[in-house]
Amino acid sequence: MTPPQIPADITAYNASQDGEYKAICMRLAHILITNLPNAECKIWHAHPVWFIEGNPIVGYSKLKDCVRLLFWSGQSFDEPELVPEGSFKAAEVRYVSTQQINISAIKHWLKKAQAIQWDYKNIVKRRGKLVRLS
């Protein structure tokens, strides 16, 4: 079975990065597309994001000095390598080199991302209140 193709808009995003950041983005896209074959992926708020039933679960973005891999419900994963981000349930890991990417850890986090989800899709409708999906 051939893995799903990375969409053109995400490929373009990755190609627009410089040097090692481009390599990091390409590696992350490959890991995510391979391990989330049924998830929708697209550029959302200018960054590659993967969704399950319209709910964002994971994405990455180039910051000033690194590439951030963000799990929307990551604070609920109980994983010390993931650092809390923002005022909701998101957690992140940052990379400056492809050597830092631990594929086994990412696969583990992706399994948790599919099992543990907070309802970001309806956060506006609920006026900023997050509800855990079962």
Is residue 5 pLDDT above 80, yes or no? yes
- pLDDT at res. 128: 72
User: Nearest 5°: CA angle at 54, between 52 and 57?
Assistant: 50
- Residue 27 binned pLDDT confidence (cut-offs 50, 70, 90): very high
Pairing mode of beta strands 83-84, 91-95: antiparallel
Domains of the chain in start order, with CATH, are: 8-133 (3.90.1150.200)
- pLDDT at res. 127: 73
Q: Which residues contact 134 (CB under 8 A, 6 or more apart)?
A: none
Buried-state track 23-53, b at ≥16 Cβ within 10 A, e below 16: bbbbbbbebbbebbeebebeeeeebbbbbbe
Mean pLDDT of 15-41: 97
Task: Find how far residue 21's CA is from the centre of its chain.
Answer: 16
Q: In this predicted model, what pLDDT tens digit does every residue of 58-92 receive, in sequence order?
A: 999 999 999 999 999 999 999 999 999 987 899 99
Alpha carbons 109 and 111: distance in angstroms, whole number:
5
Alpha carbons 21 and 112: distance in angstroms, whole number:
26
Q: Which residues contact 108 (CB under 8 A, 6 or more apart)?
A: 79
